[in-house]
């Protein structure tokens, strides 16, 4: 940032700094980041195996399918801008600060897309009572991941990240800001290749839910 650029105001309490975030919480966030591929598996098994308390009618299924589709489209859009680094499993690899595309609207579009997918699959299972459980697990996993990521990004990018974080909300999208300079976009073929694992996981769970519905 140039010396003439306006400096951000002091960060609000909701934004953790390396000094504010408890070290144990940051370490737990780094661990959940590395293990994020398998942590949702117990929830996936639950929505496939449980039958108790299924809501009647088609509205949960229709709503769930729509939410899963929107969530995956949001992920595709985000990967188009952040690239395949979104698939890294190491907590030491870091690319540039991405502020374009959906990152202009919300700081964590990939995780927001995951929340939509989680919620959609639970709805599609018609186990509506399980939504609070799924959201609680999501909040624990992704909440600590975000604390770790924000601590790391702030230590790497300093005031540049502070300025971005103050202008773009963490979870609830807002109207686009003017912070994003032109940034290269990844080809859709690379995006599709990067997202193949997520698409396959969604397809597998959806197929098992369909079999569950057919066999009654």
Give the CATH number, domain containing residue 170.
Answer: 1.20.120
Number of domains in the chain: 1
Question: Residue 45 falls within a domain, yes or no?
Answer: yes
Tell me if 101 is assigned to some domain. Answer: yes
Residue 162: inside a domain: yes
29, part of any domain: yes
Q: What is the mean pLDDT of each run of 10 residues along the chain (216 residues)?
A: 41 43 81 85 89 91 97 96 70 74 94 96 95 94 92 90 92 77 80 93 94 86
pLDDT of residue 8: 40
Q: Please give the pLDDT value at position 179.
A: 56
At 34, list the tokens.
């590395």
pLDDT of residue 177: 65
The encoded tokens of residue 16 equal 């953790």
**pLDDT at residue 20 in the model:** 59
| pLDDT for the residue 18 | 45
pLDDT at 31: 86
Of 164, 36, 175, 46, whose CA–CA distance to 110 is shortest? 36
Are 98 and 156 in contact, with CB atoms under 8 Å apart?
Answer: no
Query: What range does the domain containing 203 cover?
Result: 23-50+58-215
pLDDT value at residue 35: 84
Residue 148 lies in a domain: yes
- The closest alpha carbon to 124, from 76, 70, 54, belongs to 54
**Residue 2 placed within a domain:** no
pLDDT at res. 182? 61
For residues 154 and 166, give the distance between their C-alpha atoms in angstroms, rounded to a whole number.
Answer: 12
Q: What is the pLDDT of residue 126?
A: 95
Q: How far apart are CA 30 and CA 90, in angstroms?
A: 9
d(CA 86, CA 79): 7
Q: Is residue 7 part of a domain?
A: no
In a domain, 131, yes or no: yes
């Amino acid at each position: 940032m140039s010396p003439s650029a306006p400096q951000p105001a002091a960060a609000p309490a909701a934004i953790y700094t390396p000094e504010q975030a408890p070290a144990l919480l940051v370490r737990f966030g780094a661990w959940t980041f590395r293990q994020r591929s398998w942590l949702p598996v117990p929830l996936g098994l639950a929505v496939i195996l449980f039958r108790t308390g299924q809501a009647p009618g088609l509205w949960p299924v229709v709503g769930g399918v729509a939410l899963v589709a929107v969530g995956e489209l949001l992920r595709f859009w985000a990967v188009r801008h952040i690239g395949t680094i979104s698939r890294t499993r190491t907590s030491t690899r870091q690319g540039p600060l991405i502020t374009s595309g959906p990152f202009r609207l919300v700081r964590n579009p990939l995780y927001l897309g995951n929340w939509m997918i989680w919620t959609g699959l639970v709805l599609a299972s018609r186990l509506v009572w399980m939504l609070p459980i799924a959201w609680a697990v999501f909040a624990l996993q992704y909440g600590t991941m975000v604390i770790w990521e924000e601590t790391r990004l702030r230590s790497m990018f300093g005031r540049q990240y502070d300025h971005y974080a103050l202008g773009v909300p963490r979870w609830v999208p807002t109207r686009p800001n003017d912070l994003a300079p032109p940034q290269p976009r990844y080809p859709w073929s690379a995006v599709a290749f990067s997202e193949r694992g997520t698409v396959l996981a969604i397809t597998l769970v959806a197929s098992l839910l369909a079999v569950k519905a057919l066999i009654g």
